[in-house]
Structure 1
Amino acid sequence: MKQIRWGFIGCGEVTEKKSGPAFREVEGSDVVAVMGRNPRKTRLYAERHHIPKWYTDASELIDDPDVNAIYIATPPSSHATFAIMAMKAGKPVYVEKPLASSYDDCVRVNRVSEQTGIPCFVAYYRRYLPYFVKVKNLVNSGAIGKIMNVQLRFSCPPREIDHSIPSELPWRLQPDISGGGYFYDLAPHQFDLLQYMFGIIIKTEGICINRGGFYKAEDTISACFQFESGVPGSGSWCFVGHESSRDDRIEVIGDAGMLSFSVFSYAPIELITSEGQTSITVPNPPYVQLPIIKSVIEHLQGSNVCVCTSVSATPVNWVMDRILGKF
């Protein structure tokens, strides 16, 4: 069995529980090096997780002969740069979502992956979670009949950190780093799931406004879209709403019933048909990225095929950039 020896570029919060430990849960996989900009934090991370090597220079980690695969867990603005560096060095890449901070950068990544023949995978791990596998199976089984419409709603109050002065705002609210505001951070998971279920979105338009005034990025978005299957859909996002408006829900309307589910809270799946209403609870693994990381590792070992590639992830950025009016 081929041994996959990972090097992490970035060692922030997401690597602590969501992803990092999962790399050692799969047979034939280990983490041998980590890179971070802050020497002290990077060293402590390496010690805490028993990782033998740590760097503050991404080039040194990529060039390390003991590393043969790269996990990129940095803010989106640097995803394309590091992914391209790794692929040109002959090392496969697994990159956090979204693939990049713009559609154009996604295209650059895909071009290099094609030229080098080195695969690039993207962490749209919800595709592989039991909760969403159940949702997709219900849709595909015809449980609610022919799909007629998809409606997405997300609303939450502003966070305390949103009130910070501009220089102290989190990177997610700095469009030059994140690609947009909270929309660019959260909507990728929603759009990836919807396109995985209903096909690529071929048309979309959006209205994007800043209503709260806490920061410059958009905080309220409404959009309509159409999937290649012909199904129309709509979405609304508000990151400055009142607590009473908190919502995380996608409704799939069919001609024989309706299916609703959440994306982030994993609330019970609700299935409503002429036979009545059913509430379905589906537990997820403790490390939510474990199923997709297992698929990526098995792909690199030659025993499986992971379909969550940079090519399949790129339409998400196209949709978001169109909604935000980037082109």
Structure 2
Amino acid sequence: MIRFGVIGTNWITERFLEAAREAEGFELAAVYSRTEEKAKQFAEKHGIPQWFTSIEELAASEHVDAIYIASPNSLHAQQAMLCMNHGKHVLCEKPLASNVHEVRQMLDTAERNGVVLMEALKTTMLPAFEAIRMQLPKLGKVRRYFANYCQYSSRYDEYRRGNVLNAFKPEFSNGALMDLGIYCLYPQVALFGKPSVIKATGVMLESGVDGEGSIVTGYEGMDAVVMYSKITDSSLPSEIQGEDACLVIDKISEPSELFIRYRDGREERVEVQQDKPVMTYEAIEFMELIRQGNQQSATNSWATSLAVAEIMEEARKQLGLVYPADQQQ
């Protein structure tokens, strides 16, 4: 059994716990919240034996082996490094940190303490993503990667009424790129590596974060186009376009239906067996790393997380998107 503590009591934590319970060897041991009332309520709801209002006490607990972090983006680095310095393995929600400097600090801390650190980016952990990778040779020479994740946020309704919630506050290192754009960029880097050219445009909101944006990146012989938004919807699928065929992906954040459309008109459905909750697969991967004594995932690797952070930081510079965390370097 691997005993987990969780930092954060929001909806994503609820979803992770529901999924992680499907993973063999998962044990929920502790929860942290800033307030005693929330911590106690969450512990009682989920049958958690221990609850904390001090992260230091959670990190030092001898009853916890690993910690899942689902706090605001701006707190990821500080909290993860504290836990890793106490010898705890860390599964940290995407984005791993606010900026490249923080990501590098986290990777150094993990290496120094000999613990597992993995970014909880679900897309690349799914069986459908491995199926995407396996289909690439059928496409011929790949010329374009196109990923689209535009999902109107219910919190934007509040924003338009004058109530700025955390999702649109720069002090929490939030916005469309960090929330949705990363789902497009992470698979791109996992499949094709870091691009040599990055060009970004977008719409900045009055609160100081981006509402939507587009990033065009260049590789030798191919390019990649990413579109993301929290202020509009889109029904477009994502694609990987080769000279011989195009692979159509239903939803880049949670791919499940894949089709190959060949130039001669043939269409091939790619069969994928994916019967677990989508976040179960990242929990399984993370726990296997701990059991095997490996510090990082081959897919959600430290190099991939760092490269994605570098792309997003360059895109933010071009957009003029600055977080308070950037000034603390």
> Which interval holds the TM-score relative to the shorter structure?
0.7 to 0.9
Output the amino acid matched with 1:220. E
- Any unmatched runs of 5+ in structure 1? none
Structure 1 segment 294-313 matched on structure 2, within 5 A: 294-302=284-292, 306-307=297-298, 308-313=300-305
Aligned residues of 1:88 and 1:116 also touching (Cα < 8 A):
yes
**How does 1:210-249 map onto structure 2 within 5 Å?**
210=204, 215-227=207-219, 230-241=221-232, 246-249=234-237
78, 82, 87: which one aligns with 1:85: 82
Structure 1 distance, partners of 2:293, 2:34, is: 35
Q: CA deviation at 1:44?
A: 1.8
Query: Deviations along 1:51-81, whole A, 9 cap, x unmatched?
Result: 1001111111111111121111111111100
* Letter matched to residue 77 of structure 1: S
CA contact (8 A) 1:271 1:279 kept: yes
Say yes or no: does 1:5 pair with 2:3: yes
Matched, 1:284 2:284: no
Find out whether 1:197 has 2:188 as its counterpart.
no
Deviation at 1:88, TM superposition (A): 0.9
**C-alpha separation in 2, matches of 1:68 and 1:247:** 41
1:121-160 paired onto structure 2 within 5 Å: 121-139=118-136, 142-157=137-152, 159=154
In structure 2, the residue matched to 1:14 is 12
Q: Name the structure 2 match of 1:250.
A: 238
Secondary structure of the equivalent of 1:201? Answer: coil
Separation of aligned partners in 2, 1:214 and 1:283: 44
Computed over aligned residues only, the root mean square deviation of the Cα atoms, in angstroms, reads 2.5
Greater CA drift, 71-80 or 35-44: 35-44
Match of 1:44 in 2: 41
Match of 2:312 in 1: 320
Sort the Cα spacing of 1:57 and 1:168 in 2 relative to 1 into closer, same or farther, 3 A. Answer: farther
**SS of 2:81 mapped into structure 1:** helix
Tell me the CA shift for residue 272 of structure 1.
Answer: 0.7
Q: Deviations over 1:197-230 (max 9, x none)?
A: 11223321211223xx574422231221024x65
Give, in angstroms, the shift of residue 180 of structure 1: 3.8
TM-score (norm 1): 0.87
Shift, 1:174, TM fit? 1.2
Contact 1:162–1:214, Cα closer than 8 Å, also in 2: no
- Give the Cα separation in 1 of the matches to 2:206 and 2:152: 12
Equivalent position amino acid for 1:153 in 2: N
Alpha-carbon distance, 1:49 to partner: 1.3
Q: How far does residue 14 in structure 1 lie from its aligned partner after superposition?
A: 0.9
CA contact under 8 A between 1:259 and 1:269: conserved in structure 2?
Answer: yes
Deviation at 1:312, TM superposition (A): 2.8
Unmatched 5+ stretches in structure 2: 323-329
- 3-state SS of paired residue (2:210): coil
1:169 to 164, 180, 194: 164
Aligned partners of 2:28 and 2:48 also within 8 Å = yes
Alpha-carbon contact 1:9-1:34 (below 8 Å) kept = yes
Separation in structure 2 between the aligned mates of residue 170 and residue 130 of structure 1, nearest angstrom: 34
State the shift of 1:109 in Å: 0.7
The percent of aligned pairs where both chains have the same amino acid is: 23
Contact kept, 8 Å, 1:103 with 1:318, in 2: the verdict is yes
Q: How many residues align?
A: 315
- Structure 1 residues 199, 281: closer, same or farther in 2, change over 3 A? same
- 8 Å contact from structure 1 (residues 208, 323) kept in 2: no
Distance, in Å, in 1 between the alignment partners of 2:45 and 2:271 is 34
Counterpart residue number, 2:326 = none
**SS of match in other structure, 1:94:** strand
Deviation at 1:103, TM superposition (A): 1.7
